[in-house]
Amino acid sequence: MSFDWSEFEHVTKVDPAKRHPESIDVLRHTDAVIVGGSDGVTEENSLAVFERLRAEFPDLPLVQEPYRSAHVSKRTVEVADAVFVPAVYNGDKTNFVEKHVGFFTELARKSEDVTGSGLPFVGSVLASKGRELVDGVVGEGYVVQNPDSKVAGLTNVEEHYTPEQVAGAALATESFYGFPIFYIEYSGRYVGPEDVSAAAPFLDETALLYGGGIRSRAQTDEILDAGADAVVVGDCFHEDTERFLETVPTT
């Protein structure tokens, strides 16, 4: 299934390693769910989340955002609509080049297995989806802006980008790398719309997502008004579903 990601305004990031609310009914108010985290994620706990979400919301777009290829399997690929792969501009080379080449090397090998090259099937990752999976893989140009976040540690972020650098990363995403998504990540911290305002003028075809510390409709509106296509809300969903509802924009 392919989506126009710029049509979504409110996206929820569900961390499979975190405590989940007893009722997830509030997710009927979000436009899409990204399943991913920065610590303790496995194929098994990702799959458990996907299966619960799919059972309760058959039509809700579901995305996997792995930080290791081991999180992706034939079963996760079958249940998810897409796989978002972050390319972290201000991370180390592992998080912009090596992980991706490794991921696609594995994918290419599995594709050959499926198309009858005669190569033996090795391992379970990506399994028989072969070329089909490529269609579901979506690259995200990614800037990690909270140095104290787990994701900053995971991706070895050393440099906080200035708004001018964020604008440059946005322009590179659209005009050079061609990723369909540019993601400004402030995980756990809300600092306002300055980076979004810097990036938005350089993104025409590319969906602009902002995540980090959103806990109110006023913050959602501020980010959307600055030019983001969507806010991504994570912690608030896990901590307080009433409050989470207040992050959903009024239509």
Cα distance between the two ends of the chain: 25
Residues 183-212 that bind ligand 1GP (CB under 6 A): 185, 187-188, 211-212
4 is in an annotated binding site: no
190 is in an annotated binding site: no
Question: What are the backbone angles phi and psi of residue 107, rounded to the nearest 5°?
Answer: -65, -45
Site for ligand 1GP (CB under 6 A): which residue of 213, 227, 245, 249? Answer: 213
Q: Which of 77, 84, 94 is nearest to 207 (CA)?
A: 84
Residues 7-36 that bind ligand 1GP (CB under 6 A): 13
Residue 129, CB-side half-sphere exposure with 13 Å CA sphere: 23
DSSP state of 217: H
141 binds ligand 1GP (CB under 6 A): no
38 is in an annotated binding site: yes
* For ligand 1GP, the closer CB: 188 or 249: 188
Residues contacting ligand 1GP: total by CB under 6 A: 13
* For ligand 1GP, the closer CB: 110 or 182: 182
Which residue type sits at 170? A
Separation of CA 91 from chain center: 16
- 3-state percent helix, strand, coil for the chain, nearest multiple of 5: 45, 15, 40
Residues 215-244 that bind ligand 1GP (CB under 6 A): 232-236
Summarize the annotated binding site for Mg(2+) as residue ranges.
Answer: 15, 38
Which positions touch ligand 1GP (CB under 6 A)?
13, 185, 187-188, 211-214, 232-236
